Amino acid sequence: MKDYSSPGTTGLVMHESLLWEKGKQGKKGYSLPKRDVEHYPLDKELARENPPLPDLSELDVIRHYTRVSQWNFGVDTGMYPLGSCTMKYNPKTNEKQAALPGFTNAHPLLPLQMSQGALRIMFELEGFLAEITGLHAVSLQPAAGAHGEYTGMRIFHAYHQDNSGTKNKILIPDSAHGTNPASATMCGFKPVTLKSDSQGVISPDAVKENMDSETAGIMVTNPNTLGLFEDHIKEISEIIHSQGGLVYCDGANMNAFLGIVDMQDTGIDVLHINLHKTFSTPHGGGGPGSGPVCVTRELEPYLPIPRVVKENHGYSLSSDFQSSIGKLHSFYGNFGVMIKAYSYILSMGQELEKVSQTAVLNANYIRQRLKETFRLPYDRPCMHECVFTDELQENYKVATIDIAKRLLDYGFHPPTIYFPSIVHGAMMVEPTECESKDEIDRFIQAMAQIAWEAEDEPNLLWSAPHSTIMKRLDETTAARHPHLTGDLKGPE
Ligand SMILES: *Cc1c(COP(=O)(O)O)cnc(C)c1O
């Protein structure tokens, strides 16, 4: 059966039947004292439950849910090198601080004098993020990266209205995350695609060709979604600014240069950070997240309201900003995520830089060790993630999807696949700073073994995964028509 060198899969091999199949009449999960009042039937509707709830003991239920909870794969079970997602370890102390009763019992409608601690955390966190990015002012209101982009585009729009008048286009490179053009479109801009050059970055010439007086600015991701540093960023910013445009940076990849790059110095006017990726909030399950937006001094008046302000008598909330784009979230955003980020930043202190240095080192180690095994479309040093393709394996009719599925058998979550879409059969690996050399070596070994299998035994890959209870699924059907009842042998 299983070889314990793939510990990440142990939860995925367990068979577990439905509670209905386990129930047996008369089993009980509780005991009550003998009734001393008359029997009174509950509402008839309730009694007509279909199917009736099964009878189970407390232990049956505990085991069932504990096992089912292990049919899962997370950073706490194994390496999760999902590129562009920064699936790094979230230290438990940050969860603990966010769970302190003073925070969990706080209500956003409490009077200001009873919320001074919460306001102070928000105020100081804004200061930390300004210092880490080099930008001047911050809003913690956006609930996610895409929401931060939307906020940024609203700011672009408001700024242009106040200055040179409405502009209707925005430049976006072809490697951008899909949320970029979506956010720009929601704010009334027409996205204009910039083709990445042969080095995987944006060339100043491409920007020059497309920039005009109708264009509000550019959305750049840096490091970009190929894991590469946009080397011409300063020159690109100058071109945009010289024609009255603004520069937005999608900072979802901030894990690559925490406190190392002064973003304002590279010409960035607005930037969002994904607290749930870089600053210690577990993600992947749909939230809550937080996508703070950082801006230059010139754009500060446009930030969402209310804003936390510090006055002589303490902290308060002010909506007294005439040019603000308004409110974008109920109350002040997702406060719990802010506490985790605040706690993480304080616990790391000066070591934050080392986070990025190690993340970049780990990605380059993988790139270097696997570049003979998988084709590397851009063979140059990367930042926090590296992108391979399936081109060498195509000779044996093995594709990225087969490699990704086979990795499950080796106990690893697959990397991001088929993104960015400009790379055919992309596999985007982001190891993060948290993995040890031993674990990364195990991953490299598994990838190398899979490449060997592709050549020698491709059918092993075509039908993978083999060790998990769910075998190869038709992914479209699995998502559109999930099979939620009955036998667990897999869908028909
Ligand atoms: C994750 C990501 C986003 C979107 O962030 P959400 O918080 O999921 O909305 C945008 N751009 C890039 C480059 C990302 O990696």
Instruction: Tell which wins on pLDDT, 156 or 484.
Output: 156
Report pLDDT for 50. Answer: 62
Q: Phi and psi dihedrals of 114, rounded to 5?
A: -95, 0
The protein residue with its alpha carbon nearest to ligand 1, atom 3, reads 145
Give the residue-averaged pLDDT of 459-478.
90
Residue 487 has pLDDT above 60, yes or no: no
Give domain status of residue 159, yes or no: yes
Q: How would residue 51 be classed by pLDDT, with cut points 50, 70 and 90?
A: low
CA-wise closest residue to 200 among 35, 422, 16, 394 = 422
Dihedral, 273, 353, 431, 91 alpha carbons, nearest 10: -80
Pocket test of ligand 1: the residue of 150, 153, 179, 250 to mutate, having most ligand atoms within 8 Å of its CB, is 179
Q: Looking at the CA of residue 144, tell me the nearest atom of ligand 1.
A: 7
CA-wise closest residue to 412 among 5, 3, 1, 9 = 9
Give the residue-averaged pLDDT of 289-299.
98
Residue 62 has pLDDT above 90, yes or no: yes
Separation CA 7–CA 12 (nearest Å) = 10
pLDDT in tens, 154-213: 999 999 999 988 899 999 999 999 999 999 999 999 999 999 999 999 999 999 999 999
* Ligand 1 centroid from CA 156, angstroms: 19
Separation CA 384–CA 362 (nearest Å) = 8
Give domain status of residue 41, yes or no: no
* Domain containing residue 281: 94-350
Pocket test of ligand 1: the residue of 177, 277, 422 to mutate, having most ligand atoms within 8 Å of its CB, is 177
Separation CA 211–CA 217 (nearest Å) = 8
Report pLDDT for 47. Answer: 61
Q: Phi and psi dihedrals of 415, rounded to 5?
A: -70, 175
The protein residue with its alpha carbon nearest to ligand 1, atom 11, reads 177
Report pLDDT for 2. Answer: 44
Report pLDDT for 485. Answer: 62
Give domain status of residue 264, yes or no: yes
* Ligand 1 centroid from CA 144, angstroms: 8
Report pLDDT for 179. Answer: 96
Give domain status of residue 250, yes or no: yes
Give the residue-averaged pLDDT of 287-309.
97
Q: Which residues of 210-233 are buried (b: 16+ CB within 10 A; e: fewer)?
A: bbeeebbbbbbbbbbbbbbbbebb
Give domain status of residue 487, yes or no: no
Place of tokens 């090198």: 81
* Ligand 1 centroid from CA 102, angstroms: 31
* Mean pLDDT, the chain, integer: 92
User: Taking the alpha carbons of 142, 147, 148, 152 in that order, is the dihedral positive or negative?
Assistant: negative
Give domain status of residue 26, yes or no: no
Contact 419, 480 (CB under 8 A): no
Give domain status of residue 173, yes or no: yes
Give domain status of residue 84, yes or no: no
Report pLDDT for 1. Answer: 42
Beta bridge partners of 220: 249
Give the residue-averaged pLDDT of 393-403.
98
Q: Looking at the CA of residue 289, tell me the nearest atom of ligand 1.
A: 7
Contact 206, 236 (CB under 8 A): no
Report pLDDT for 16. Answer: 81
Q: Which residues line ligand 1 (CB under 6 A)?
A: 84, 144-146, 177, 179, 221, 225, 250, 252-253, 274, 289, 291
How large a percentage of the chain has pLDDT more than 70? 94
Q: Which amino acid appears at position 39 of this protein?
A: H
Chain CA centroid to CA 48, Å:
43
CA angle (360 as vertex; 358, 361 as ends), nearest 5: 60
Residue 406 has pLDDT above 90, yes or no: yes
* Ligand 1 centroid from CA 300, angstroms: 23
Give the residue-averaged pLDDT of 97-103.
96
Give the residue-averaged pLDDT of 69-89.
92
Q: Looking at the CA of residue 149, tell me the nearest atom of ligand 1.
A: 10
pLDDT in tens, 347-384: 999 999 999 999 999 999 999 999 999 999 999 999 99
Number of domains comprising the chain = 1
Report pLDDT for 9. Answer: 66
pLDDT in tens, 423-447: 999 999 999 999 999 999 999 999 9
What is the pTM for the complete model shown? 0.90
Residue 413 has pLDDT above 60, yes or no: yes
61 C-beta neighbours (distance < 10 Å), count: 15
Report pLDDT for 124. Answer: 98
Q: Looking at the CA of residue 146, tell me the nearest atom of ligand 1.
A: 9
The protein residue with its alpha carbon nearest to ligand 1, atom 4, reads 145
Residue 301 has pLDDT above 50, yes or no: yes
Q: Looking at the CA of residue 147, tell me the nearest atom of ligand 1.
A: 9
* Ligand 1 centroid from CA 32, angstroms: 51
Residue 418 has pLDDT above 80, yes or no: yes
Q: Which residues of 283-303 are buried (b: 16+ CB within 10 A; e: fewer)?
A: beeeebbbbbbbbbeebbbbb
Q: How would residue 6 be classed by pLDDT, with cut points 50, 70 and 90?
A: low
The protein residue with its alpha carbon nearest to ligand 1, atom 15, reads 84
43 burial level (CB within 10 Å; 0-12, 13-18, 19+) = exposed
CATH number at residue 193: 3.40.640.10
Distances (CA, A) of 197 to 204, 227, 383, 385, 387: 10, 14, 18, 19, 16
